[in-house]
Structure 1
């Protein structure tokens, strides 16, 4: 889910649009499927994942940690998107905001892919602040 949210914001930066056009056959079905769901679905899904997986000690700690990590990264992407809507239009015009948001999206994508790489390799990723919060949540 965090990769979906990051791709949505990456597409709106238009700086990555030519790159994403090459991989449109991979991203378009996911974006269309998740975009057609009701707006409360993602919130209900997060609540169900937290209560059904993270809070249950029957699941291995490694799995619970990565579920919480994905949820926290998705929340970080949503906060960035919400904050960006509050900025006045005078701040959003020009080249600096375009380069700034492109850098933010690229950093988010690399963070997501690093977490996926660590999960597939059987390791715990070290993302500042988020890894500590995920460890605390999964150890409760």
Structure 2
């Protein structure tokens, strides 16, 4: 379990830090200067001016990373892709009917689709809601 957490969290942390850095750098310098002219401290500037603007810019990347992480998680879960495919192979060999091969694999694919498609819909909805209008 610890290996799985480390194996999945290290790349996600690296990507997230890069997304946040890019989003912060994408905020126009005038925003920083305006906050400074209003007497905001560095922390206040980040918390009240910069970070609220970065959420709109970073949201599509976050949701994409979430979808990728969701698809990668079964690789290390108790019943992962290998286990599901193993169970499918076992069921096929026990039945001795090669004609149900494709329906069985489509069933497994269906479960991944049922889990991942709502993530895509939510992402699209959030992107429309928080879109950056330039």
Per the normalisation by structure 1, the TM-score is 0.34
Structure with the higher fraction of residues in helix conformation: 2
Which structure is richer in relative contact order (CA contacts within 8 A, separation 6 or more)? 1
Per the normalisation by structure 2, the TM-score is 0.35
